A and B are shown apart, each in its own frame.
Chain A
Amino acid sequence: AQSVTQPDIHITVSEGASLELRCNYSYGATPYLFWYVQSPGQGLQLLLKYFSGDTLVQGIKGFEAEFKRSQSSFNLRKPSVHWSDAAEYFCAVGAFGGGGNKLTFGTGTQLKVEL
């Protein structure tokens, strides 16, 4: 069974500083990996996804993530954080069981941005 670990529950960074959110996954085959962001009271918005090919993927809002198979990681990065980036971030792995869709999420990382 697949699983996702986000080791950091809370992270605080200063506005303008760089950001890296960690994600480790466990999956038997080539994973489909996602990062979602959730603002308070809102649903999930997709930041970026990895299916195959280039291991460095670019997403919306200036985010990028790097897939490292040897480390089973898919860390999210942003060179300069904006106050509006404060939110909760979820890493997820997608699986096809019986042809269906299923996402397994990590527990999330709450990002606080200090002005």
Chain B
Amino acid sequence: KAGVTQTPRYLIKTRGQQVTLSCSPISGHRSVSWYQQTPGQGLQFLFEYFSETQRNKGNFPGRFSGRQFSNSRSEMNVSTLELGDSALYLCASSLPAAVNNEQFFGPGTRLTVL
């Protein structure tokens, strides 16, 4: 079974631009979560989508948004990029059952903001 895939793997943008990152979950997984990893703040939860609906949200500004499609693929968007948005963005998928929130992570997208 294929794992979680994220595209692109690397991205360079400049301040003020916007960016869209994509995540394809493991087949059969309907929950997709996004995390930001930085040296200073560590791993922080951004949001989670299930059945095309945002089910959980972390403490990030409104510049960070996401969506999920009917095939469970998810995208996250960051508008008006800031230098501090440079990070590794990780996507994780899991089965929807409430008693099992084991998450499987993709390799991440490394975003550099210049």
A53: B residues at CB distance < 8 A: none
| Distance in Å: Cβ of A105 to nearest Cβ of chain B | 4
Interface size on B, residues (CB 8 A): 27
- The answer to whether B104 touches A46 (Cβ under 8 A) is yes
Chain A binding surface SS class: strand
Contact A101 B31 (CB under 8 A): yes
Q: Is B94 an interface residue (CB 8 A)?
A: yes
Which residues of B lie under 8 Å from residue A100 when comparing CB positions?
31, 48, 50, 55-56
CB distance from B28 to the nearest CB of A (A): 15
Interface positions, chain A 95-115, Cβ under 8 Å from B, are 96-108
- Which residue of A42, A43, A92, A107 has the most chain B CB atoms within 10 A of its CB atom? A43
Instruction: Chain B residues near A96: list those with CB within 8 A.
Output: 98, 101
Chain A residues touching B, range: 20 to 34
Q: A96-B98, A100-B50, A101-B31 are in contact. Are A44 and B105 (CB under 8 A)?
A: yes
Q: Which residues of B have CB within 8 Å of A44?
A: 90, 92, 105
| Residues in A whose Cβ lies below 8 Å from that of B58 | 102
A14 within 8 A of B: no
Q: Mark A66-98, 1 if CB is under 8 A from B, else 0.
A: 000000000000000000000000101010111
If the complex has contacts A43-B90, A43-B108, A44-B90, are A101 and B103 also in contact, measured as CB distance less than 8 A?
yes
B43 touching A51 by the CB < 8 A rule? no
- Give the most central of B50, B92, B94, B102: most A CB within 10 Å: B102
B56 touches A98 (CB 8 A): yes
Q: Which residue of A lies closest to B9 (CB)?
A: A41
Are the C-beta atoms of B99 and A42 separated by less than 8 Å? no
From 1 to 47 in chain A, residues with beta carbon under 8 angstroms from any chain B beta carbon are: 32, 34, 36, 41-46
B residues contacting A by CB (< 8 A) are: 4, 31, 33, 35, 42-45, 48, 50, 55-56, 58, 90, 92, 94, 98-108
A: residues with CB less than 8 A from B are 32, 34, 36, 41-46, 49, 51, 90, 92, 94, 96-108
